[in-house]
Structure 1
Amino acid sequence: MSTFDRRQFMQLAGVGGVVFVSGLGKPALAADTTSGSASEDFFFVQLSDCHWGFEGPPNPDARGTLPKAVAAVNALAQAPDFVIFTGDLTHTTDDPQERRKRLKEFRDIAAGLQVKTVRFIPGEHDAALDKGKAFKEFFGAMNYTFDHKGVHFIVLDNVSDPGAQLGDEQLAWLADDLKKQAQDARIVVFAHRPLFDLYPQWDWATRDGARAVDLLMPHANVTVFYGHIHQEHHHMTGHIAHHSAKSLIFALPVAGSQPKRTPLPWDPAQPYRGLGFREVTAETKAAEYLIVELPVQKA
């Protein structure tokens, strides 16, 4: 596992797969994620873009990478405080019955995580065709908030609207929630699509995401974790850092690097290349993050 010194750490934090967040110094014990207790370093895991139900190239181990990730999380020396999946839990299908079958299978695999709390948000593959009806049957609300050890978490749904947007109602909900937060509150936002225009030609954007960023801008300590683009990417909108997570099914090319958004081919010499997970170390008192990318290991 690679590490960063403090200077590198701050450079990266200023600029989420699986994302690990853990405390600097003495580890904290896992706790109820609904707790709004005082600031304390802690540890959580983000997984994204599992696409359960996808078969064939470019991943000959399409049914293996998600269980491998679950096993990797369970093998951690310290259990994370919580785990969150940030969308595209399943691969899209026009068949409502098959969609529910995939969601159930995914839920059953995720249930193998040996942690107290697991949270979910949808991706467009899970929710776009039925506006999230099946997703809600299995996983509940698609946008919500929770507080944990002095950090306010906001989960946004930017996939169930056919227009690939948050919508006026959700933006009003976000504005109302943010009014209750101090300007120096530590805020983490989870979404599936990027909230900024990374590459709209490939659907790598949220049509009204700029409105959400504008609402977040008055707050000094905001970090956004998202998925959707199947690769590591870091971006700043003002002082707000956005970090994308790698996928657990296939990698996608850098925006605009090829004519079409087709998955990168599987490399037998480097299996799982482009897939993986990352470790993020958080010291909540300073709202700092250390991110370390880790590969999926061959079983």
Structure 2
Amino acid sequence: MQQKLARREFLKLAGIGGAVFASGLGSASSALAAYQPDFYFVQLSDTHWGFEGAPNPDARGTLPKAVAAVNSLAEQPDFIVFTGDLTHTTDDPAERRKRMQEFREQVSLLKVKQIYFMPGEHDASLDNGAAFQEFFGKTHYRFAHKGVNFIVIDNVSDPTASIGEAQLQWLKDELAMLDKKDKLVVFTHRPLFDLAPQWDWATRDGAKAVELLMPFQNVTVFYGHIHQEHHHMTAHIPHHAAKSLIFPLPAPGSAPKRTPLAWDPGHPYQGLGFRDVEAEASKPALQITELPVLKA
């Protein structure tokens, strides 16, 4: 957070005042115009509310700890996004809704009230996202924030791990309204590329989505699903996976099965965390900072 505070201090010393992250692209002051559009958001993923047992003996405590960690940030983010698997899968529709209600109660304690949700396969694949939509709204959508366009893609409600032709057409139509030089951030749950298809770490028609994104000069993709930090490039498009808040998984293809990594009593919560992502008006790339659920 030191860099954000330094910018606020700059504004104070320059006699400008006001919030660092306020909008103002059209300001007459060059210093204000240079700094006001800057902002950051927090990504959390794979909370799996409702999961119990090994390897996380604190399965019902990790999400509240993450909420407390975000609330304790010196500078609160402009918004928060949960990139799927809010709840752990269940065949019981009533239990699925109970878990979603409990999850919503937990995240209502966040100081930041602008929160974006998207489903994971644990939330949506058994009912095509019906319960998710009852509690959290649309499974795919677009929004803009301070000069950056954000697109949420649903690659989990279809149990075949596909985006589907209808949503791909929607994506094409949404992108047609944007300039190829615009900053674009894409959120998915599964990776759009073939990371480890044998582990369900892929999207069947993800290449079609990447092809639609390719003409844009400044695109960044954030996803969850694989329960670990991971970075990949598709031509000029970076893809960044987020850590889980329930248990870490092994590196892609490093084991016969994607068995969760064992809990280390000497280093509890190891491998769990969230990230903040900072967007600066003067820089095309986004600055990513990984944060632990609990400080060492």
TM-score, with length taken from structure 1: 0.88
1: CA distance between counterparts of 2:47 and 2:5?
27
Q: Does 1:91 align with 2:88?
A: yes
2: CA distance between counterparts of 1:283 and 1:23?
14
- What's the CA shift for 1:25? 2.8
Q: Does 1:48 align with 2:45?
A: yes
C-alpha RMSD over aligned residues: 2.0
Map Cα deviations across residues 51-86 of structure 1 (whole Å, 9 max, x no partner).
000000000010011001111111112221111101
1: CA distance between counterparts of 2:189 and 2:20?
28
Please tell me whether the aligned partners of residues 24 and 41 of structure 1 are also in contact (alpha carbons under 8 angstroms): no
- What's the CA shift for 1:281? 3.0
- What's the CA shift for 1:116? 3.1
Please tell me whether the aligned partners of residues 151 and 284 of structure 1 are also in contact (alpha carbons under 8 angstroms): no
Please tell me whether the aligned partners of residues 80 and 114 of structure 2 are also in contact (alpha carbons under 8 angstroms): yes
Letter in 2 for 1:297: L
Letter in 1 for 2:125: A
Match of 1:149 among 146, 151, 162: 146
2: CA distance between counterparts of 1:2 and 1:205?
36
How is 1:174-253 mapped onto 2 (pairs within 5 angstroms)?
174-253=171-250
Q: Does 1:113 align with 2:95?
A: no
Residue 160 of structure 1 corresponds to which residue in structure 2? 157
What is the aligned length?
275
Please tell me whether the aligned partners of residues 52 and 91 of structure 1 are also in contact (alpha carbons under 8 angstroms): yes
How is 1:7-86 mapped onto 2 (pairs within 5 angstroms)?
25-26=7-8, 28-29=20-21, 40-86=37-83
Please tell me whether the aligned partners of residues 30 and 80 of structure 1 are also in contact (alpha carbons under 8 angstroms): no
Please tell me whether the aligned partners of residues 44 and 275 of structure 2 are also in contact (alpha carbons under 8 angstroms): no
Match of 1:280 among 254, 277, 285: 277
- What's the CA shift for 1:119? 1.0
Which structure: larger Rg? 2
- What's the CA shift for 1:298? 6.5
What is the percentage of aligned positions where both structures have the same residue? 67
Match of 2:255 among 243, 251, 258: 258
Residue 16 of structure 1 corresponds to which residue in structure 2? none
Runs of 4+, deviation exceeding 3 Å: none
Residue 127 of structure 1 corresponds to which residue in structure 2? 124
Structure 1 gap ranges (5+): 4-21, 32-37
Q: Which moved more, 1:75-84 or 1:237-246?
A: 75-84
- What's the CA shift for 1:43? 1.5
- What's the CA shift for 1:282? 2.4
2: CA distance between counterparts of 1:93 and 1:217?
37
Higher relative contact order (CA 8 A, sep 6+): 1
SS of 2:39's partner is coil
SS of 2:122's partner is helix
2: CA distance between counterparts of 1:83 and 1:89?
13
Structure 2 gap ranges (5+): 9-18, 24-32
Map Cα deviations across residues 93-114 of structure 1 (whole Å, 9 max, x no partner).
0000000000000011011111
